Amino acid sequence: MKTSSRRFFGSIVAAAVGLPFLSLMLWSFAERWFYPALWPQAWGLRAWRYITSTAGLQVMTAIGHSVVVAAVTAAVAVVIAVPAGRALGLYDFKGKDLVSVLLTLPIIVPPLCVAMGLHLWFIRLGLAETYAGVIGVHLTFCLPYAIFVLWGVFANYNPDFEDQARSLGASRTAVMARVMLPMILPGISVAALFAFLLSWSQYLSTLIIGGGRVTTLPVLLFALMGSGDRPVAAAVSLVFVAPAFIALLFSARHLGNRSLAGVR
Amino acid sequence: MGELDLKNLRIDYGARIIIQNFNLAVRNGEMMSLLGPSGAGKTTILKAIAGLLTPTGGDILIDGQSVRDVPPEKRDAVMVFQKPLLFPFMNVAQNIGFGLRMRGQPGREAQRHIGAILALTQLAGLEHRKVHELSGGQQQRVALARALVLKPSVLLLDEPLSNLDANLRQRMRELIQTIQSETRMTMLFVTHDQSEALMISHRVALLLGGRLRQVGEPRELFYQPADPEVARFFGGRNFFKGRVRDGQLHSDLGVFPVGPQNGNGHVRTATIRPEDIRIAPQAAGLSRGLRGRVVKTRFEGSSTRVVVACGANEVIVLTSEDAYRPGQEVAITVPPEKIRLFPGD
């Protein structure tokens, strides 16, 4: 009874997660698929051939742009979030509540407003239509998430480990590199992952700030979808989803183990 | 060498004074306990010696050299915390070798040191274990080994036994004692457990209310407490006042000879340990006995605590016989040689 009900709910979850991808798979291999047919009337590799050869360069460039933007965003977010999370998690100071409100603001305010508002400023600062500008606007969403993750990590962090390390002969910098970083590494990878995926899936803010010059994968995807070629759009969507899947597997490995156990 | 000198140490925490006028000298090769109730500032003192917090005033000398401006990683004093605090991302050998690596000690020599310490702390064979695979006692031994391997002039131990159960605690205490007598390392051992301090140390320093009350050998603190509070800390419960006249203390409990050196005509406080008082049923007819009535008893296993009302005084007696009941008439005898008369008022 128990296993069967677990199987039932498991299959519902699997269906909810898997069905959209199933239709994407079908579309990407469809040559002809018109209403009211349930299955594609003709199968083929045209879409995949298109995105690997004809538009291959375009797709590869877009992937490259996306990877660079997301990776830099994640790196910057983590570099700022580690000291910020440490301050919020370990110390009490005036205005801590205000900081937490300010951090939630970019998450609450619709990204469209943020991007539109920042656009004017970015034009003046010469950041519009540049990589730096796009990374900047992505950081407004990614940084709060990264800080929240590391805030939680440091709230459970025992700074006595650092005192112990110093007494054993580690300098301040050695304590950071050899004790703090290894201890919070699981937290850092989660924060980096969040930031990377958030940046990876940004479309609107990239389009507004990048002005079409910075063509990340979502920007290309929307362009292809607009052209009405659904099999190609489906194939690009699947390419788009791939890093998220890889990241999920990676994080499951990292989050599942007991590497956080010693932090307390 | 490992001499530790604390001179006029003062430590504030915000606006609160934790420690002031603190003077303590630990001799080379000595095992000294810093004893005091929880919250007395013992850990704070250890942290100051280790360099993990900066004292507001005073000086700390290791081997005669002031270490005020020496950062913790350069100080020749290593602290072992109450919790093992083993680095979870390293195995046992890596944890023990951490300090050596920080000193840049070459691999093979470090391995030799680690091996020797593993044997000394009875951890041989566990070097490749992960930290979370160890028992509590093993973790605490690794924490000890990690500090010992650095051969510091002064080893600072902050209640390293308090997280262990009674059995393990005894074995760990004996291990620390063995290591101390083998290595002759100067150790300052912080504890709130008086019996632990009396058992483990050459000398005990008692800290009460932010002030050092008495420093001396275990027997000295136990049998010649400097003031009533020290006596109370070591389980003294019977305090009584009396006037000294011609080498005798005249008190409610009787007249006792106390020697001629004590100030004539003054009122003094005296104490007697509960286990030093003799008690007998009144029927036994002790000639010199003080008459009293049992108020209550508390069975403690090997001994029974009996509260006896003698006139206006209540005397607490510790006896090995569980033969007294509330309301019973008893006779108690106070042996004069066991009375401790406190100097001053």
Say yes or no: A131 and A195 in one domain.
Answer: yes
> Distance between CA atoms of A128 and A140, rounded to whole angstroms?
15
Token pair, residue B170, equals 């005894």
Cα–Cα distance list, B247 to A204, B243, B259, B322, B338 (Å): 98, 10, 5, 37, 16
> Distance between CA atoms of B205 and B190, rounded to whole angstroms?
10
pLDDT tops 90 at residue A37: no
Say yes or no: A18 and A80 in one domain.
Answer: no
> Distance between CA atoms of A33 and A233, rounded to whole angstroms?
14
> Distance between CA atoms of A218 and A138, rounded to whole angstroms?
14
- Mean pLDDT across the stretch B182-200? 93
Identity of the residue in A160, A163, A169 whose CB atom sits nearest the CB atom of B102:
A169
Say yes or no: A171 and A194 in one domain.
Answer: yes
Say yes or no: A191 and A94 in one domain.
Answer: yes
Say yes or no: A125 and A6 in one domain.
Answer: no
pLDDT tops 80 at residue B285: no
Cβ neighbours of B146 in A, within 8 Å: 168
Closest chain A residue to B82 measured between Cα atoms? A160
Say yes or no: A104 and A165 in one domain.
Answer: yes
Token pair, residue B111, equals 């391995």
pLDDT band at B15 (very low <50, low <70, confident <90, very high): confident
pLDDT recorded at residue B344: 67
Say yes or no: A55 and A154 in one domain.
Answer: yes
> Distance between CA atoms of B239 and B316, rounded to whole angstroms?
10
CATH class label, B4-229: alpha beta
Domain ranges of chain B: 4-229, 236-341
Say yes or no: A85 and A139 in one domain.
Answer: yes
How many beta-carbon pairs below 8 A join chains A and B?
78
Domain span at residue A165 reads 45-263
Would you give the DSSP letter of residue A52? Answer: I
Q: How far is CA B227 from the centre of its chain?
A: 16
For residue A239, the domain's CATH number is 1.10.3720.10
Token pair, residue B38, equals 């929880």
Interface of chain A against chain B, CB under 8 Å? 158, 160-161, 163-171, 174, 178-179, 182-183, 185, 258-259, 261-263
pLDDT tops 50 at residue B129: yes
Domain B236-341 falls in which CATH fold?
OB fold (Dihydrolipoamide Acetyltransferase, E2P) (2.40.50)
**Which residues lie below 8 Å from residue B73, measured CB to CB, with a gap of 6+?**
A166, A167, A168, A169, A170, A171, A174, B102
Total number of domains constituting chain A: 2
Rounded to the nearest 10°, the torsion over CA A28, A33, A37, A38 is: 0
Whether B81 and A160 lie within 8 Å, measured CB to CB: yes
B80 beta partners: B157
Query: Burial of A26 by CB count in 10 Å (0-12 exposed, 13-18 middle, 19+ buried)?
Result: middle
Say yes or no: A49 and A38 in one domain.
Answer: no
Percent of chain B predicted with pLDDT > 90? 62
pLDDT tens per residue, range B305-334? 999 998 888 899 999 988 899 988 888 888
